[in-house]
Structure 1
Amino acid sequence: MAFEPSQRLVKALGEAYGETVAADWLGGLPSLTQEALERRELACERIMAPGGRSSVVVLVRRPDGTQAALKLVPAEARPDRERAALAHWNGWGAVRLADDLAEPGALLLERLHCEVSLRSLPEPKALLEAAGTVRKLWVEPAEGHPFETVARRTERQSAPMCEAPAELMPLVDAALAARAELVASSPELLLLHGNFRQGKVLGGDRAPWLAVGPDPLVGERAYDLARLVRDRIDDQIATAAGAPATRRRVNRLADSLDVDRERLHGWTLFRAVESGTRALAAGRRQDGEMLLEFASWL
């Protein structure tokens, strides 16, 4: 099965896992896809384009004629953890697994309206729907779960931040200090989406909106909510009232989901600085500068 991966997928995989790993996975993707289709007796309709930044999604039909989506993911992205999280949620607030075949690198999911995400809604409505969706995902993890903790993930992310240019170190130091204080007093250990934002919530049939693409871990709700705070960051940067508007957004989201304002503020700072310094290191200068400007408002 031959197809051309999007350039954003090629770049994102190279940045995340290295160019060699990315090239090897992409090179074997046609055969991996064909094998997954044949094993499940699926008929391919089309490949989603441009698709995700770390996966390929193929829209398919099952032998009984029902629609589904086949998601192909590199092993480095830990699809086993995504499967475990989706199985635990069992369709509550998130896309549902369409089979229980634990095939490495392939997930068969219920078909959602792939072209319709919360980003298609006006901002106030999108935030309201996002809050209602993410609330459902915050549940106790299963005993013996495979997920890493917020403390462990952010510890790994902290070391590269220290290699940022000298002029950024005051902001980096503030983010690292906030993280140290937060992990020292984490109030809860819940299953989190890990990468929750408006673009990760798609329209569905059995529910209006369902989350997709988790990068699951366990920890506090404020960490999960922090990524949502900076959604549509380009719009926020463009407004004259960016800084006060951002702080109001933190408070509004925290209050709507009964999350401590200061903890959400701290995790929003850390995640923005971490993402910003990582973008700069990868050569995505515009993204990095925008994220760091956002972080400076907090």
Structure 2
Amino acid sequence: MAFEPPRRLVRALGETASAPDGEDWLARLPEAAERAVSLRGLSAERVQVPGGRSSLVVLVRAADGTPAVLKLAPRRARPEGERVALAHWGGRGAVQLREEDAVEDGVLVLERLHPDVSVRSLPEAKALLEAAGTLRRLWVEPPGGHPFETVAERTGRQAEAMRAGAAVDAEVAPLVSAALGAREELLAAPPEVRLLHGTFRQSKVLAGERMPWLAVGPDPVVGETAFDLARLVRDRVEDLIAQPSGASTTRRRVKRLAESLEVDQERLRGWTLFRAVESGVRARRVGREKDAELLLEFAGWL
């Protein structure tokens, strides 16, 4: 079959075309997918569409008919970190590896979940509850000698890009200043160090057979749990913005999630602010102006 990358993946890679392996990786992708399928004796069913922003996902079957997923990602997406995290979780709250040892760089074989059924299909309150319960299972001690970056390291890189954005865009400068100030305070006294999903949101929780809901697509990082939960706070941000009571709904969501997962409410608010501003500034930088407006308005409520 033709392993044509979905438009979402092509667009996302185009937004970061300056990365060293971007366009080159995309050009080699069909051949790499064909080789990965052949090497493992798999039969390919279809490329998952619309798919993700950082990898090609192919629905496959093993020689014995067992359904699985073949995932190919460029180096910048840190696929080997994903492999280590998934192996450490061992299927507890997250998709299972079908191939724990690295046969090829950037290639993962995973259990097949229901790729078209995420927790976002549930009513909002139920979706948040199920997503939060899934996230809680992932917060474990990181493995010894792990390869993951820390929250401080990851947000340090992001902070530099935010400062650069504020320097050329006076409109975002006050929010950037507030977000950077919150980050400094939060990093001064982190309460715990756990293995975190890193990019957790409702669309990263899929229906499964072993368990009703399982997380996929981590970009693992180690640090405090409030950082991980912060991304979930702004899920369905477009719906929040459309509500006349969006600001108060957001504050109630922060309170409810913090209480349900025993996370300090102010620390969750601070990381939610930082992550929303960072995403908004990044969206504006690559021309996704509508996304930027939504995210920055949301950040202003915090």
**Which TM-score bucket, shorter chain as reference?**
over 0.9
Q: Which of 257, 275, 291 is the matching residue for 1:271?
A: 275
1:166 match: secondary structure? coil
Kept in 2: contact 1:204–1:210 (CA 8 A): yes
Q: Distance in 2 between matches of 1:181 and 1:110?
A: 40
Match of 1:288 in 2: 292
Output the CA distance in 2 between the equivalents of 1:45 and 1:244: 46
Q: Aligned to 2:228, which of 224, 231, 237?
A: 224
Instruction: Kindly state the Cα deviation for residue 19 of structure 1 after the two structures are TM-superposed.
Output: 6.8
The SS at the match of 1:57 is: strand
User: Displacement of 1:73 after TM fit?
Assistant: 0.5
- Alpha-carbon distance in structure 1 between the residues aligned to 2:69 and 2:290: 33
1:160-200 residue CA offsets vs partner (Å, 9 max, x unmatched): 11122112111110000000000111011100000000000
Partner of 2:68: 68
Aligned to 1:48: 48
Verify the 8 A CA contact 1:272 1:292 in the aligned structure 2. yes
TM-score of the two chains, using structure 2 as the length reference: 0.96
Deviates more, 1:14-23 or 1:201-210: 14-23
Q: Is 1:141 paired with 2:145?
A: no
The answer to whether the 8 A contact 2:199-2:231 is kept is: yes
Q: Secondary structure at the match of 1:60?
A: strand
SS in 1 for 2:172: helix
Question: What's the secondary structure of 1:178's corresponding residue?
Answer: helix
Same amino acid, percent of matched pairs:
65
Match among 193, 196, 214 for residue 192 of structure 1: 196
Contact 2:4 2:30 in 1 (8 A): no
Q: Tell me the distance in 2 between the aligned counterparts of 1:77 and 1:218.
A: 16
Question: Aligned pair 1:176/2:180, yes or no?
Answer: yes
Q: Which runs of 4+ in 1 moved over 6 A?
A: none
Q: Deviations over 1:14-36 (max 9, x none)?
A: 22453773221111011111111
User: Quick one: distance in 1 between partners of 2:20 and 2:155?
Assistant: 25
**Letter matched to residue 248 of structure 1:** R
Distance 1:80 1:241 in 2: 42
Distance 1:32 1:202 in 2: 26
Q: Deviations over 1:105-150 (max 9, x none)?
A: 1100000000000010000000010111000000000110000000
CA distance 1:280–1:262, change in 2 (3 Å): same
Instruction: Kindly provide the amino acid, as one letter, of the partner of residue 247 in structure 1.
Output: R
Consecutive unaligned residues of structure 1, counting only runs of 5 or more, are none
Q: Give matches, 1:54-93, under 5 Å.
A: 54-93=54-93
Q: Does 1:233 align with 2:237?
A: yes
Q: Which residue of structure 1 aligns with residue 29 of structure 2? A: 29
- 3-state SS in 2 of match to 1:65: coil
RMSD of equivalent CA atoms:
1.1
Is 2:4–2:47's contact at 8 Å kept on the other side of the alignment? no
CA contact (8 A) 1:17 1:76 kept: no
**TM-score scaled to structure 1, two decimals?**
0.98
Aligned to 1:208: 212
Q: Distance in 2 between matches of 1:294 and 1:91?
A: 34
**Any idea what SS the aligned residue of 2:57 has?**
strand
Q: Is 1:242 paired with 2:246?
A: yes
Count the aligned residue pairs.
298
Question: What amino acid does structure 2 have at the position aligned with 1:283?
Answer: G
Secondary structure in structure 2 of the residue aligned to 1:162 = helix
Q: Distance in 1 between matches of 2:110 and 2:17?
A: 24
Contact 2:37 2:44 in 1 (8 A): yes
Is the 1:14–1:21 Cα contact (8 Å) retained in structure 2?
no
Which deviates more from structure 2 when the two are superposed, residues 96-105 or residues 199-208? 96-105
1:4 maps to amino acid: E
Give the whole-Å Cα distance in 2 for the aligned partners of 1:81 and 1:147: 6
